[in-house]
Amino acid sequence: MKRFIALILAMFIMSVAGTAFAAPEIMSVNDMGNATDLIILNNNTGEEITVFEKNYVISGSGQEGVTVTLYLYNSTDNVYKKLYIVTKDGEKKLMEWKIGPSGLFLGEVQLAEGNNWFALRAEDGASNYQVEKINVTFKKGFIAFIKDLSIGFSEIKDFMNSFKK
């Protein structure tokens, strides 16, 4: 019985210790972290990035063992919220990476048209964390514009052909 209680107590302590360093679900827009040397982003920080493709890759390097969590700005609540994606299997997955021996991390996100404000929170497990922010603006490119036009023209053509019948 004592062993069973000790086992339950040990499992409880391990679960509390494992979740104590988990990144919060929401993050203040003013949160800047307390460290500056955990990660380096390959993406420009502090300035707007304009792209014409819907998919965008966020990448960088950092210290082995650091966990990087991706957040997306929510203008309704004026906070950053953890970003979850839906996998091909229909499962909800947190956009988070644990940096391995290579020191690299990367992930692909789908952008909404217009401004997409991201924050990355890197934590080392010793209460040190760094926050980096990226503003990516997605504008439909010329080719997407032409595709939209061609779809419109084919619909108009079908509409006109319906009168000929």
| Residue ranges per structural domain of the chain | 27-154
What pLDDT, on the 0 to 100 scale, is given for residue 47? 81
Name the phi and psi angles at 143, rounded to 5: -65, -40
Q: Show the tokens assigned to 74.
A: 């929510």
Q: Give Cβ neighbours of residue 136 (< 8 Å, ≥ 6 apart).
A: 43, 48, 49, 50, 51, 56, 111, 115, 116, 118
User: Which pLDDT score, from 0 to 100, does residue 140 have?
Assistant: 85
Which of these ranges, 44-48, 60-64, 99-103, 149-153, has the smallest mean pLDDT?
149-153
- Give tens-digit pLDDT for 7-31: 454 555 554 444 445 899 999 999 9
What pLDDT was estimated at residue 20? Answer: 46
pTM of the model: 0.74
Read off the pLDDT of residues 31-60 as tens digits, 9 standing for 90 and up.
Answer: 999 999 999 999 887 788 999 999 999 999
Type and span of the H or E element at 48: strand 48-51
User: What was the pLDDT predicted at 97?
Assistant: 97
27-154 carries CATH number 2.60.40.10: yes
Torsion of CA 50, 55, 59, 64, to 10 degrees: 150
The residue ranking higher by pLDDT, 111 or 15, is 111
